[in-house]
Structure formats: structure tokens, C-alpha cells
Chain A
Amino acid sequence: MSRTVIIILVLLMALPLAGGAAAGPDRSDFDPRLSGAVVNFAVRSTGSQYHHEEWLRGDVLLYSGEVVPNQELRYNGYRDALVWLHPETRRTIWVDEELVREFSLYDSRADRHMVFERFAPGRQSRAIYAERLFMNHIGLYVHRRVEQTGETTELRDNALRPVLTLEPRPVYYIVREGEAVVLARLNRRFLLNLFPDHRREVRSILRQNRLNVRNEYELVRAVVLIDAFLKDASGAF
């Protein structure tokens, strides 16, 4: 292929770009926008503040009903904050929680799509971001909380600086008829206590499916099965 042909090819392919630019203003002017506080400090810690250490792509649904699509996001479980990587300035922004109804994160490596929504565990409780693990007639949410479990110091720039010890401490909530109940521990007994009217049947379901409910995966499976049972057991559910 001669150089001249290549140049002509390049010019021909690039032509629509110039033509397209004249077709109208950028629609991004019309899209909703995220707001939040610029964070220009860092907390030194052992253990991560974040549910996912890397930035994930996701959409943000605002209380206005508008969607801000395809942003780089992270969830900070220590601050309970949605963190946004500003696309132009690359600054880290804590998105204004008062404006956000829910957001999604897509983990392409695990091919996992997560949805976090503003969730008030009780009528008097402050709303938190909780990941929606399951939602049908009953709902299962997890607050991906990261807690400070200790603090050490390190010498840095001739000064002693605090270093927090952070650990993930997720809290699970089961929502029935609009009421959220915290699952104090992940085990079979605590789950059975949430369904006193159907304790025997729920126990049977867990046994049949060999679910000890010791981890999140088993909890989700158990809730899905219980939801299906309760739906069958009560037409008015």
C-alpha cells in the first residue's frame, strides 16, 4: 500500500469527523450532573476503606429521577460515601448523598453488577448506602461497612501520624413488608428467628439445601428460597 493511498484513506475516514462536529452542540450540556465535595486529603490506614479498591464503571440515579450514566465510581465503606472520579480533573469527589437515590457498579472482572441504594434501616435512622442483594417479596440488603478496629502511629515527615486499622464489617438487613430487620450474625439460628411463623418450614428448606448460612453466598440463596416458599404459602403475601 503506497503512502499516498494511506494518506487519502486517512483523510477520507477523518472527513465525517469534521462534518459531524458541525451537526450540533454537545448533548452532554443537556445531561444531569453529579455534585459533591472535592476530597484532597487521604486517611492512612491498614486495610481498605473501599468495597472495591479499583474504580468501577456505574450509573447514578438521582432523586430528581435523572440518571448520570457511565461514571468511574467507588464505594467508601468507612465514610459511607459514593466516591466519583471526576472525568476531566481526575479529582476525587464525595458525591452529595442528599441527591443520590441509588447507584450501580459493574465489576467487569467478576462480571458482577451491584446496585447500592439509599436505605433507611429504621424510621428514625440515618439513611445509608446499602447494596441490594435480593429484592422480591422480601429484600436482602448489605451495608458494606468498614470499621476502624484500631489505630497505630507512624513517623512521617518528622511527625507521628495516625494509621487507622480498618476492617470490613458488613451488616445485613432483611426487609419484610417495609420493615428492615438487622441480621445480627450470619448463622442459621438468627435467620430462623426472623420467620417465627414459618420456623419449621424454613429450617426444612435450609436443611434440604444444605445451607448453614455462614457466608453471604449462602445467605442470598437461603433468602431466595424462603421468598419463594413464603410466596407459595401465602397468596396474600
Chain B
Amino acid sequence: MKRFFLQFALLLALSGWMGSHVPAQVVPSDPGTREHILLHTDRDVYIAGEELLFSLYLVSGAPDPAHKSRFAYLALRNTDDLLEKVVVSLDNGSSHGAIYLHDTLSTGFYELVGFTNWMRNQGESSYFRKSLFIANRFDETLGAIQRPSSDYVGNPAGGEEGRGSSDEENRQAGISITAMPARAGQRSLVRLQLESALPAGETVHVSMSVAEAGAYFDDPQGWTDDAWQPVVPGQAASHAASPSYYMETRGPIISGFVRDAGGTDPLPGARVVLNTPDTLINMIYADADRHGGFHFVLNDFYYEKDIFLSVARTGDMPPASLSLSDKFRFEDPPAAPPLSLVWDKHEAIRRSQDILRARKAYGIQYLEGAAEGEEGTSPPPLIYGKSNLVYYTDHYVPMDDLWEISREVIQAWRSRQAARGSRHTLISGLTGNFIEGEPVFFLDGIMAEDPSPYMDLGSRELFKIEVHNLEWMHGGQFFPGIVGIFTREPGLHLDGLNGKYVRTRVEAPARPAAPISPSYGENAARQPAQPDLRQVLLWEPALEIRGGQVLEVPFYSGDLSGRYVVTVRGLRPDGIPVYAREVIYIQ
């Protein structure tokens, strides 16, 4: 007996040990990994109607450098609204792009927030935040910055500076900038030489902007601030025991909860189905965990598409309600910077408003791309490759409704009206017998629990009907046959699907934007056809400065004379931010 007990105990212990290793296989990321975002924008002060250029760096504490988020999110907001939501895909932990600042934005302070899905586990305090000032193009009085404010508590992790340059500061920051010449004429060549203090073989990844000095706040903030805490590989995060959100290493993830109809108690094990309208029946599903949470990893097939989520019907599952977790829902309000940051910017802002109006009037663009998101190339997640039976309504005489179509044309589909809706059965294409249970219906690719609402659709509305009259398994989901109904105008009839769906849209990651940098060469004087009204002379979002080497970046000045600030920001290989600035003059 004692021996048996010992064996039993050892078996239990072994199973416990094996169980403890399960998360290593099923959890995609080390729960203790910390991530942080660093953002560099080309300026601090913008005019509505311009593009905001950004460069984004992800710093991960994951011991495996390949195991870090591949997607990051940017939100532009003010105290009242969330104005812009941007998804970017990260290439080796960095990305860059542009955000168009809509003409209708009112004058005031805004905040740019950067985060990853994984950082949601760390709390909003870990998000990168940067205050910006945006002036409406048509706001001539700039009344919003007339009023002083006394409630400024500081902006711990964002902001730029309008200070004069300091060679000593630059040296301490690890980057030195040499401008040749420091004073240049209009449309003339300027060379910037960047040098890193790192030893040979080590590379600093930086972005660089050269913009009018008036486009920066007169307050030193940002990356040299103590609020930035470098992420140390292996450093555990406070959420290590129970992360709620996945690291997006394969694709954007949408998460949500299944609860009972009252929206209070979680429904563990409930199966959530995700479809998108398509001419092919596609489906992925996820089972709710013990907290009722569910997660879907979406590949690029879903980019720029509406997706429908519903709870699959099962015999013993009570009525359920679905809710999605909104990545862009913030609890913390935006920082409230002091108006003194822009107190003396009236003149510079008015000048920028005039310049932007002139650019708009003449249709002068300084940015290429960025308008559309990435295009998807992945195939749809099909339930079946080819339907067993396909009926094109145009091949038959017009019929009034699906009752008539199923009765007259589709022999394998038996439908009848019942006291509560309709009853449907399929005859198996394998055995010739009736398939037990009712088939699952899809309308334009969306799973529809009850087909009754669209049984009135006829040949005029319908294009194709697929009948997959087989008992079918897709992963762990069983279908007693499938009927796919495709309308001539996909999406038109989806609103009538009983309101049992949560509908959302998957935004595609923004494409990188490329600023246009004119090259005047020797003949600058002979190319005055179009005025060069660039206020940002240079934006290089992805530069690599190798230790022991000098990186030279040439560019041409424009027609606007004045004081320009060169800012360089980025990351050392150990995740420590670097920063440098220099001033040049265009005369």
C-alpha cells in the first residue's frame, strides 16, 4: 500500500512538473518581459493640415531579441477626443511613418501616445506620451494660447526642446553633430556629420530632423528625463504572474470577453466565431478562458475589413453577450502642458499658417506614400476548399425566395417552415442519408445562426448558393452541413442579422512615409519654378551610426531663411536612448 501511495505521489508530482512546463509551450511570450516605446517626431508644433512625421523604437526586455512585439499603436488625442488611431508594423523593433493632422483640428495641446498590446499589461503609466501643439490653419487670433494656465504638472515622458545647442551635452549623450556649413544660403548643400561615442562595431539607430526652431517647445524635456527607465533584459514586470494581453508577434490581436446575457458572469469555454464578409466562407474561432476572455491573432487577410464576432451555438450554453477590449481606450487623461511652452510662438505659428495656406493653394506636397495601409497577401482561413454543391442563380429561371430555390433546385437541401422560424436538413453527399442536426448558414461569409430573416431573398438578390452537404469538422467545430448564401451586393443584407454580432474593423498598419527632399545641385538658381517652402528641411527616420565611423547626411536648404534645429534621437544597442541637437542658420 505504501509503495502504491509512493508511486501515485510520484506520478502526480511528475504530472505537476510537466504541467508547469505547459505554459512555456502555450504562452507565446515570457510573462515577465517588459516593453517600452520611444517616439521621435519631426517637431513639437504643427499646423492642422500638415503631416506629423514620427519614428518609433521598441525597447524590449525579452532575453530573446526575436521575441518582441511586431506591432505598435499610436493615438493622437486631446482632453476631449481620440482623434487618430494608427497601427504600425515593427521591423526589427522600429518603424516610421506619418500622421495627417486633419484641417479641422482646433488650436490647442494634443498628446501622442505610443504603446504595444503587451504594454497594456504594464499599465498606461508605461505608455510613451508626448505633448504636441497644433494650431488650426484658419485660427488667426490664436486665442487658445492667450490664456495662462497654472495647473501644469509636467510631462514626464515626452516633449522636445528649444534650447541652444551644447557640444558638451551632445558629447554626454553619445552623439556629436557637425554641420558644414553652420550658416548656409538658400537652396544650398548642407552636410551633417554624425559621430557616435560608442566603440567600433556597435551601432546606434537614430532618426534625425532639421526643422525651424519655432517648431519646438521652449522647454527641455524628453529622453534625457529620468522618467525614462531603460529596459533590462530579464527584468520582470509586475504583471508577470497573470498577463491579460498577448504579445503581438504574429499579427494584430483582438481580445474581448464573453459573459452571460446580463453582462456580469464570465462564460468560460464559450466559442467565439470570427468571420469577415467575403465570397468565400472563412472562419476562425477561439474558446473563452476561465475569465471569459478570448483572443484572436489576425493575419493580413483581415486588414481594412469589417469583422463579425458571435458566439457559436451549443446545446448547454446560456445566452451570451460579447464585448471587445478597446486598445485605444485610455483611463489616464492627457497631460496638460503649460501655455508658456508656446507663449512666444505666435509669430512662428502665424508664419507657418501662411506657408501652409500657400502650399495648399499651390498644391505643394513634401511627402510621398503614407496615405494607405499595408495590403494583405494572406489567404482567407477557409472552412472548406471547394463546396460539394454550387448553384448559381443565373443558371436557373428567376425564383422568388430561398424556399423556392431549395425546393426546386437544390435537392440536397430540405427546408420547411415551422412554428418558430424554419427547419432545415441536408442530405449527405457521402452516404445519401439525412445529416443529423441543422446545417450552419453563412450569409456573405458571416455565420448566421437563424436563416429565417433572409429566406425571403430570391434570385434577384442572390448570386450563388453553396451547399456543403457533408458532416464537417473544422478544428474542434462540428458542422452538420454548411449552406453558404452569397448576395449580389455583399454586406447589404448583413444588418438584418438579428443584432447578435459585435462588429469591428481591422486597421492595416500604416505604410512608411517618405519625405521629398529636393536636390538642386549646381543649378539651384535656375530652378525657381516652384517655391521651396519646406519648414522641415530633413527627416531621416532610420539612420545607423556605427561606432568609430562618421556618418555624413547631405541635404539642401529651401527658400525659407531662419534658425533651424537639428535633432537626433535614437537607441544604443543596450536600449539606452541617445539624443543630440545642433543649430544651423539658413540666410
Compute the total of residue contacts between A and B using a CB distance below 8 Å.
Answer: 139
Verify if B525 is at the interface (C-beta below 8 Å from A).
no
What 1/0 flags go to A178-206 for Cβ under 8 Å of B? Answer: 00000000000000000000000000000
Verify if A237 is at the interface (C-beta below 8 Å from B).
no
What 1/0 flags go to B232-266 for Cβ under 8 Å of A? Answer: 00000000011100100010000000000000000
- Known contacts A14-B12, A29-B294; 12 further A-B pairs (Cβ under 8 A): A6-B5, A6-B9, A13-B13, A14-B15, A17-B22, A22-B242, A23-B243, A29-B286, A29-B296, A35-B383, A36-B473, A88-B476
8 A Cβ contacts from A77-105 to B = 86, 88-89, 91, 93, 96-99
A107 to chain B, nearest CB (A): 25
Interchain CB contact (< 8 A) of A14 among B5, B16, B386, B470? B16
Verify if A110 is at the interface (C-beta below 8 Å from B).
no
Q: How far is the CA of A10 from the CA of B26 in the complex (A)?
A: 23
Verify if A233 is at the interface (C-beta below 8 Å from B).
no
Interchain CB contact (< 8 A) of A30 among B242, B250, B472? B250
Verify if B385 is at the interface (C-beta below 8 Å from A).
yes
A-contacting residues of B (Cβ < 8 Å)? 5-6, 9, 12-17, 19-23, 25-29, 31, 241-243, 246, 250, 285-287, 289-290, 293-297, 378-379, 381-386, 430-431, 470-476, 478
A10-B16, A13-B17, A24-B27 known; A34-B6 Cβ under 8 A: no
Q: Hey, which chain B residues are within 8 Å of A32, CB to CB? A: 381
Interchain CB contact (< 8 A) of A98 among B5, B19, B26, B386? B386
CB-CB nearest in chain A for B247? A24
A35 to B474, Cβ gap below 8 A? yes
A230 to chain B, nearest CB (A): 36
Verify if A33 is at the interface (C-beta below 8 Å from B).
yes
Q: How far is the CA of A10 from the CA of B16 in the complex (A)?
A: 8
Q: How far is the CA of A96 from the CA of B31 in the complex (A)?
A: 37
Q: Which 3 A-B pairs have the closest CB atoms?
A: A98-B385, A16-B20, A33-B475
CB-CB nearest in chain B for A84? B473
B13 to A23, Cβ gap below 8 A? no
A25 to B289, Cβ gap below 8 A? yes
Q: Hey, which chain A residues are within 8 Å of B379, CB to CB? A: 63-65
Verify if A126 is at the interface (C-beta below 8 Å from B).
no
Chain B interface main SS type: mixed
CB-CB nearest in chain A for B251? A30
Verify if A109 is at the interface (C-beta below 8 Å from B).
no
> How many of chain A's residues have a CB under 8 angstroms from any CB in B?
45
A sample of 29 cross-chain residue pairs with beta-carbon separation below 8 angstroms, ordered by A number, consists of A9-B9, A13-B12, A14-B13, A14-B16, A15-B16, A16-B19, A17-B19, A20-B21, A23-B23, A24-B27, A24-B243, A24-B246, A26-B26, A27-B26, A30-B28, A32-B381, A34-B475, A37-B470, A38-B471, A40-B431, A40-B471, A41-B431, A65-B378, A91-B473, A93-B473, A96-B384, A98-B384, A98-B386, A99-B385
B275 to chain A, nearest CB (A): 15
Q: Hey, which chain A residues are within 8 Å of B242, CB to CB? A: 22-23
Q: How far is the CA of A42 from the CA of B26 in the complex (A)?
A: 36
B28 to chain A, nearest CB (A): 6
8 A Cβ contacts from A38-88 to B = 38-41, 63-65, 86, 88
CB-CB nearest in chain B for A5? B9
Chain A interface main SS type: mixed
A195 to chain B, nearest CB (A): 37
Q: Hey, which chain B residues are within 8 Å of A91, CB to CB? A: 473
Q: How far is the CA of A93 from the CA of B243 in the complex (A)?
A: 36
Q: Hey, which chain B residues are within 8 Å of A65, CB to CB? A: 378-379
Verify if A7 is at the interface (C-beta below 8 Å from B).
yes
Verify if A155 is at the interface (C-beta below 8 Å from B).
no
User: Which of A21, A25, A40 neighbours the largest number of chain B CB atoms within 10 Å of its CB?
Assistant: A25
Interchain CB contact (< 8 A) of B13 among A9, A63, A88? A9
B17 to chain A, nearest CB (A): 5
CB-CB nearest in chain A for B475? A33
A87 to chain B, nearest CB (A): 8
A25 to B294, Cβ gap below 8 A? yes
A48 to chain B, nearest CB (A): 20
Q: How far is the CA of A20 from the CA of B294 in the complex (A)?
A: 17
B13 to A27, Cβ gap below 8 A? no
